[in-house]
Amino acid sequence: MCSSMVLVRVTCLVMMMCMILGLPQTLVALTCGQVNTKIAPCIAYVTGSGSDVPKPCCNGISAVNNEAKTKSDRQAACKCIQTTVNALSGVNVDKLAGLPSKCGVHLPFKPLPSTDCNKIA
């Protein structure tokens, strides 16, 4: 009886440690949902004929850049942007490629379907 109680307590302790140690990674991971929400204001610009990038689009590009702190976050953001762009029709790739520059943001990758996201540092 006593040994089974000790086993239960040790198991609970190990599970709690795993949850605590795993929590920071979960909190800092940038999800596709977050990326898509932030870049959604850019869709009209890259699929339309307008010449001015909307301020909310630049805010979104800047937010993605600021929140993608780790290599895996940057790679995930790149892949999310590619998935979104590939799902859209009529994307002007020149406008898409120029977005970071027009917004004054230095993304560590080109937001293009041809970018190899796995090579982003």
State the pLDDT at residue 50: 81
pLDDT tops 60 at residue 100: yes
pLDDT tops 50 at residue 21: no
Question: Rg for the chain (alpha carbons), in Å?
Answer: 20
DSSP 32-49: HHHHHHHHGGGHHHHHS-
**pLDDT tens column, 27-60:** 447 899 999 999 999 999 999 978 899 999 999 9
Q: Give the whole-angstrom CA distance, residue 82 versus residue 107.
A: 14
Give the contacts of 38 (CB within 8 A, at least 6 positions apart): 59, 60, 61, 63, 64
Number of other residues whose CB lies within 10 A of the CB of residue 19: 10
Q: For the whole prediction, is pTM greater than 0.75?
A: no
